[in-house]
Structures are given as structure tokens and as C-alpha cells.
Structure 1
Amino acid sequence: MPERDTLYTSGRFLLSRSGTKVILRGVNLPLLDDWAFPPSNYLSAVAQSHANAVRIQWYVNYGDADRPAYSLSDLDNVLTQCAQAEMIPILMLADLTCAADTSLLNSELVSWWTSSDVVAVLAKHAAYLVINLANEVGFYHWAGDSQAVLDAYCADYATAFQSIRSQGLNCPIMVDAPDCGTSLDVFLAVGQQLIESDPQQNILLSAHAYWAGYDGMPFIQQCVNAALPIVFGEIANRQDEVVDGQTVFGFYCLDGTGEGVTPANGFTYQALLSTLFHHETGWLAWSWGPDECAARMLSTDGTSAALSPYGEDILNNPSYGLATTSHRHMLL
């Protein structure tokens, strides 16, 4: 089989350029929430975690004038460091996190993805890059299960795919599920449609397992049976909730410790990771740090020597931890 130019999907799996199965096992890095970046970052510490992928938070506009300046040169350097460490970079734009309206993809984000200076950087790293077009954009169940809203979700993503592919970028595009990423079941309805609307048919479908009030576990087997290329772009040990109009960070306890409100459905991230290991399904832990919820940071200070209890489990659990289950691939 001739080597491909990029990573690519086949059925429910992501494959390397040479056709080897790649099961993503990694972490999220909220890069721009760390105001010490640039020039510093935690990538050398993340590389010691055994992760084979890192989901990198980026913004077109961070939205805070006090945030130190960052540039495409800084992004270029980060992507190079990921490749050197054999960690697949998954580049995500967080500007529209949990926005209801998917039309904003094309009015606010696609012009960044397709600008000539950005395309030049992405093309440089396209052989090992995954584009996560937007973080958690679009409502469905939260919009009353509206068919019109679901149709718009598919159409807006299809338009965005066309725009990005027209720039010669053929690497996988990751699409987050609706309802802040939580609604895995939606992919059973429209996942194949999304894939077929991409000229390259090179799509990863990403769910975020904040499932204190949503039971997504039964849908995993159904997605496997449907051969959908599912990955869990975020898993975590805590889930936020809005209480009396204010966000309470880490309100729900998703690790069974009882250090917070226990979900009525009994969901734990540990049970999820055991299921994902069984099905050879990829996942990325939120997050290395920083984070508004201290218990949700894998490292308490960004170094590999200061793992939290959650971080210790994600890295070293003998059944599903990164040290046991993450396998790296040469990217350069």
C-alpha cells in the first residue's frame, strides 16, 4: 500500500500514513489559558506522560486584552514540538465553545482556517495534524430535538469542510457532538452523513463525556456496530454545573470518590475508559492544566513530577492508563 500524505480514517479507525491503526490516547492542553505561553509551555512534561496525542487549545481572538500576545509562529513551534515528541497534534479553536448556532462556524472561524498564513502553517504539519474545527459548537437535544437545527448542524459543517478542503488541507477534521460535545447519540443519526459531506471523507466524530445528566454508555456499542470513527475528545473526573446563574466548577464528581455531587446515573470516567479500551476507541483527558477546577488538572503545577490523584490514574492505571495503552508512531 503506498504511503498517504496525511493521517486518514477507514471505517471506525484512524490510520497512520502507512496504514497502521492509530488509537489516540492523550491529553488536552489549554495552551492559551496558560498566560506564560509564549514562550513557555508544558509540552516537555506532557511528552513524559506517554501520550501519543495532545489536543491543543487555540483562539482566533482570546477575548481578554490582558492576555499576552501569541502568534502563528508560536503555533508553528508547538506543532513542531508535538511531532518531535511523536504526539499527534489536534488543533482546536475554542472561540465558540458551547455556542448554540453552528452557522457561526462559517461566519467566525472558517476564515481563520482558510487564511493564507494559517494554511501555510497547517500545510507544513499536515502529515500528522488533526484539525478540530470548533470546540463544542451546536445544540440539538438542548434545542428541543429540532430537526431543522440538526439539518443546519450538518449543512454548516459540510460548508466548512468544503472551504477547508479547497485550501488543499486533507488531514482529518474532528467534529464535536452537539450540546457542548455530550450528545454521542446524534452521530448514530447523522455521523455517516457528516463523513460523506467531506470531499476527503476523512472525519473523526468526537464526543465529550460530561455525562452526569446524560447516559451515553449504551451508544458506544451502537457506534462501534455502525463502524463510526468515534473518539472522545474530552474525558474528565469532574463536571461543571450552572447553579443560580453561576458556574460551579467541578460540581459533579465523575470518578466515584464522592468529592462533589454524584451523578444519579452512576457514570464514572473509569468505567468509560475501561469500555473504550475494550473497543479500541481513542480518548483525550481534560486537562493537563491550567483549569478552574484544581482537581481536574492532571498535573498540579504543569510538571510531570506533580501529578494529581486524577493524573496519576490517567497516566499509570494498569488497565487503561497512558503508560499501558498509549502507543506512539513516528511522525517525522
Structure 2
Amino acid sequence: MRFRTRTAPRTAAALAVLLGLLVPLLGLAAPAQAAPSGFRVQSGRLLEASGNDFVMRGVNHAHTWYPDRISTLSHIKAKGANTVRVVLASGDRWPRNSAADVANVVGQCKQNRLICVLEVHDTTGYGDQSSAITLSRAADYWISVKSALTGQEKYVIVNIGNEPYGNSNHTRWTADTKAAVQKLRSAGFNHTLMVDAPNWGQDWAFTMRDNAASVFAADPDRNTVFSVHMYGVFNAAAKVNDYLNRFVAAKLPLVVGEFGHNHSDGNPDEDAILAAAQRLRLGYLGWSWSGNSSDVRYLDLVTNFDPNRLTSWGRRLFNGTNGIVATAKEASVFSASVTSTNPAVSRLHH
């Protein structure tokens, strides 16, 4: 917020004195933030570097557990997605993804014209899971692979940590999230940052919802996006709409970073999630392409990583009403160097 002084000096001498006092103070002021070179948040919307509004339409892919399935990215693109959220690991809970590996993932996303949301999964359920790590530790991981991310701000969004609190001590989410964001900014990260909700991502206690404004304000770049995961807690259209509407009304940027059509904790209303996201122009990323453990295999979008074997969930997400094929629009950064008459490009803009 900018404040303007309305006092007017009565004489030129008074003006000179005033300026003499102000100039040293102005010299001590912090330099203005440089204009973002990539994604940025403005008035609650996620914008590309070009200024175009960007709405995520995509899926999650468990890269860290299936590093040999890098061709999955081309299959996800072929199904019409404009974004992929990629599971990485810090090495604390699962084998670490190196800077070289992260750089390769980013390169493959760019080659396949996908915006890349990268997340550290080792934070999952902190407080409930003894092996889970803190958001501060996740920030340390990002700093360790910074070389793979610098200069990729137009293509990459950094999702600091997956579901960073379970249900224990979840009120600590607010302070810990602010600190992690500031740690990354102090380390020179200029990317749009994404932060997941506590309560295993579902925010049933509304900690993220009720503190999002203060978290956003704590980011010196004002470039943070919030992510809620919608499973059994969001089992009715009224719950879905109320949650999403509140963020939009507050002009706070939100995406549905994970959701499914079924879950052990209840039956999410996927039709309501898809409809509300389309109505409000909010991004969504379905969980997940393939490779889920046997107890949640119903969340696989394709069977055994085969893009020709969509499951019922896959058919719903990709081809159903308000699904990816009907609503996804490729990021404009990928068409900046080609003409709009290119038929391959025009086919990708729905």
C-alpha cells in the first residue's frame, strides 16, 4: 500500500529543508523488487510472464518412485494437459532427486510444453508421520538444487512441501509456512511458490483458509499460490463451493493440487470440484497418472503407465464434463516463438 503526504511547505526554504531530510532517508530505503521474470500473482490470479492468465489443468506424476518413467510426461501432454505436478524427494524419507535429475525433469516438461510444478514429498503428514520432515528442511532441499531451477521461472512453480502437516499440531502450519517462504526468498528464489494445506492437505480445520492472507503478505514478492487437496473431506458440492469461493472472494490464489473420485476417508464430489474449478477459473491437478499402491490403485488415471488404458477415473478427468480435454489451454510461453497459424499450436488451444 502506498501513502501520500498531503502537507505542503509554505516557502521554498521550507521545501529545501524538507528535501534535505528526506534524501538521506530515501537512500536507506530497501530497493524496489525487480519485476518478476516468470509466473506472478496479481489480484488473486496466477499470471504468466506475458501477463496472460494461466489456469492449471493437469495431473500428478510420481517421478521419484518411477524415475524410469520419464516418457510419462509426453503421454500426459498427449492427453491434453497443460501442467504436471512432479513428485520429488529430499533424501530424508525417499532417495534424493539430484540437481541433475531435477534439471532433466524440467527440460522434459519444457520439451513437452508442460508447466512444471515440482514438490517435495518428504514433508507429507509431518506431526503424524515420524519420518516426515519440516518445511524448513524441504526449503534446504530446494536451495541445494537451486542450480537446476534458476532461470526457469517462466516454466516452473516450486511447491515447497507436500501436505506438510497431518492432524497433529497443524496450527503451526502458518508460522512454518511463512518461514519457509522467506527462507527461499532470502536464498534468491524468484519463482512462484506453492504451499499445501495442513490436515493432510485437506485443511478441514481451516488453518490455511483463515491464515492465507497473512502468509501471502509474509512473502516479500507477494508471489505465493495456495493448494488444497480434495478427498473425503470434500464429499459435497456445498463444501467444495464454500471453500473455493472464500479464496476467490478474498483475491487469494488457489489451486486444487490433488483430488480424486474416491478415497478411503470418504467419497469426494469430483463433479462438483471440476465444475467449481471451471466456473471460478481455478487450476486443478488430478491424482495421479499411475503407480499408486494397491490400497489406492483406484486413483490411477491409466493402468500400468499405459496411456492407451485409461481407467474410469482417467476417462472422467480427461474426457468428462469440465475435464482436461474440454478446458485446458497451453501456456502461452510455449507459443511465443511460433506463429499462431501453426496447426499444432491451434489444436492445443481449446
**TM-score past 0.5 threshold:** yes
In the alignment, does 2:314 pair up with 1:311?
A: yes
- Aligned equivalents of 1:63, 1:168: Cα separation in 2: 26
In the alignment, what sits opposite 2:252?
Answer: 228
Structure 2: state its 5+ residue gaps. Answer: 1-33, 335-350
Give 1:179's aligned residue: 199
Matched, 1:53 2:83: yes
Range with bigger deviation, 75-84 or 90-99: 75-84
1:96-146 CA-to-partner distances (Å, cap 9, x unmatched) read 21113898211x22221112xx1110104222210000000125xx34xx7
Q: CA deviation at 1:71?
A: 3.2
Shift of 1:39: 6.8
Percentage of matched positions with identical amino acids: 26
Indicate conservation of the 8 Å contact 1:288/1:297, yes or no. Answer: yes
Q: Which structure: greater strand fraction?
A: 1
* Unpaired segments ≥5 residues, structure 1: 242-251, 255-266
Is 1:120 the counterpart of 2:147 in the alignment?
Answer: yes
Specify the alignment match of 1:324 in structure 2. 326
The equivalent residue for 2:277 is 276
Contact 2:209–2:247, Cα closer than 8 Å, also in 1: yes
Higher relative contact order, chain-length normalized (CA < 8 Å, sep 6+): 1
Q: Which amino acid aligns with 1:275?
A: A
For residues 255-299 of structure 1, the C-alpha deviation after alignment (integer angstroms, 9 at most, x for no partner) is xxxxxxxxxxxx411121111111111100000011112221111
- SS state of the match for residue 330, structure 2? coil
| Contact preservation (8 Å) 1:4, 1:18 | no
2:71 and 2:163 mapped to 1: Cα distance?
24
Is this contact kept in 2: 1:84–1:331, CA < 8 A?
no
Q: Per-residue CA shift, 1:150-169, capped at 9, x if unaligned?
A: 3x322211221121112221
Classify 1:191/1:198 alpha carbon distance in 2 versus 1 (closer, same or farther; 3 Å): same
1:10 & 1:285 partners in 2: Cα distance? 25
Partner secondary structure for residue 127 of structure 1: coil
TM-score (norm 1): 0.81
| Equivalent position of 2:48 in the other structure | 16
Asked whether 1:170 is paired with 2:197, we answer: no
**Displacement, 1:50?**
0.9
Note closer, same or farther for the CA distance 1:39–1:71 as it changes in structure 2 (3 Å cut).
Answer: farther
8 Å CA contact retained: 1:235, 1:286: yes
Change (3 A) 1:305 1:80: same
Contact 1:3-1:19 at 8 Å conserved across structures:
no
Letter in 2 for 1:29: H
**Pair 302,38 (structure 1): closer, same or farther in 2 beyond 3 Å:** closer
Q: Sort the Cα spacing of 1:159 and 1:4 in 2 relative to 1 into closer, same or farther, 3 A.
A: closer
Q: Which has the larger Rg?
A: 2
TM-score (norm 2): 0.77
Is contact 1:103-1:156 (8 Å) kept?
Answer: no
2:142 is aligned with what amino acid?
W
Structure 1: distance between partners of 2:216 and 2:83: 22
2:112 to 78, 85, 101: 85
Q: C-alpha root-mean-square deviation of aligned residues, in Å?
A: 2.4
SS at match of 1:17: coil
